[in-house]
Amino acid sequence: MGKESTEIMKEQLKKGYLKLAILYTLLRGPLHGYEMIKRIKESTFGLLTPTAGSLYPALKELEFDGFITGRWIQQRRRVKVYMITEKGKEAFREVIDNHFKLASAIRGWLLTRLAPIHPIEEEPTAPALMRQAVKIILLGDNVKVEEKIKFLKEFKRILQRVNETIGKLIVSIDKRIKDLETEINPR
C-alpha cells in the first residue's frame, strides 16, 4: 500500500473519529464550536485536536444528517450552539457497539497469531465490560455511583490481567529471540 493510500485512510479515520467525538461531547450538553474544540482535545488527551476548518464541516454534515441540531443564540456575539438529537444518540450507541465488535474480532485474530509464541487467553468479560463502559458514557451523571465503582473495579481487574499477560508474552518473545539467535550462531 502506497504512502498516499495510507494518508488518505488516516484522514478518513480522523474524520470519522472527529464526528464520533462531536457526538460524545454533545452527550454532555449543548456547546458552541470553540468550546467543542477545547473539550474534544481534552477528552481525547490531545489525540484529536480539531481545527475550525475540520470541525465546522463535520458539524454541518452531522446536522444535515439529523444527528445534531444547531440554533443561533446571542452571547457576547452571535454563536451557534449544537445539541445531539435522539437519532444522534442512537447512532453513537450503534457505532460504539460496532467498534467494540470489530476491535474484539481483531483482538481475537491477533491472539491466534500470537499463540505460537505464547498462548494467550482472551478476557471473557471484556465485551460485557465494554457495553457497560458505553452505558456509563451515554448516561453520564445519571449512572449510580455504585455502578461506576463496580465498573472501575472490574476494569482494573481486567487491566491487571492484561498486564500480567503482556509480561508473560514479553518473556516468551525474549526466549524466542534467544532461540532464534542460537540457531543463527550455534556454539
Please check whether residues 120 and 180 belong to one and the same domain: yes
**Per-residue pLDDT averaged across 67-84, rounded?**
93
Which residues share a beta bridge with 69? 83
Residues 6+ apart with CB under 8 A from 63: 69, 70, 82
Q: What pLDDT is attached to residue 65?
A: 96
Higher pLDDT, 86 or 168: 86
Domain count, the chain: 2
Please check whether residues 95 and 113 belong to one and the same domain: yes
Please check whether residues 137 and 76 belong to one and the same domain: no
Q: What pLDDT is attached to residue 176?
A: 82
> Does the structure show a pLDDT above 80 at 61?
yes
pLDDT classification of 22: cutoffs 50, 70, 90: very high
pLDDT in tens, 123-166: 555 666 666 666 556 556 666 788 778 877 887 787 787 778 77
| Cα–Cα distance, 88 to 64 (Å, whole number) | 12
Q: What pLDDT is attached to residue 185?
A: 83
Among candidate residues 50, 84, 118, the one where a domain is terminated: 84
**Per-residue pLDDT averaged across 23-50, rounded?**
88
Print the domain residue range for 176: 88-184
Please check whether residues 65 and 98 belong to one and the same domain: no
Please check whether residues 117 and 47 belong to one and the same domain: no
Please check whether residues 11 and 93 belong to one and the same domain: no
Residue 81, H or E segment = strand 78-84
Residues 6+ apart with CB under 8 A from 114: 120, 169
Considering the chain, what is the average pLDDT of its residues? Answer: 80
Furthest CA-CA distance within the chain: 80
Q: What pLDDT is attached to residue 25?
A: 92
| CB of 20 closer than 8 Å to CB of 89 | no
| Cα–Cα distance, 6 to 24 (Å, whole number) | 27
Please check whether residues 95 and 53 belong to one and the same domain: no
Please check whether residues 15 and 80 belong to one and the same domain: yes
Segments in the chain forming alpha helices (H) = 3-27, 33-43, 52-64, 86-114, 126-139, 145-184
Q: What pLDDT is attached to residue 35?
A: 94
**Per-residue pLDDT averaged across 58-68, rounded?**
96
Q: What pLDDT is attached to residue 138?
A: 55
Q: What pLDDT is attached to residue 113?
A: 67
pLDDT classification of 86: cutoffs 50, 70, 90: very high
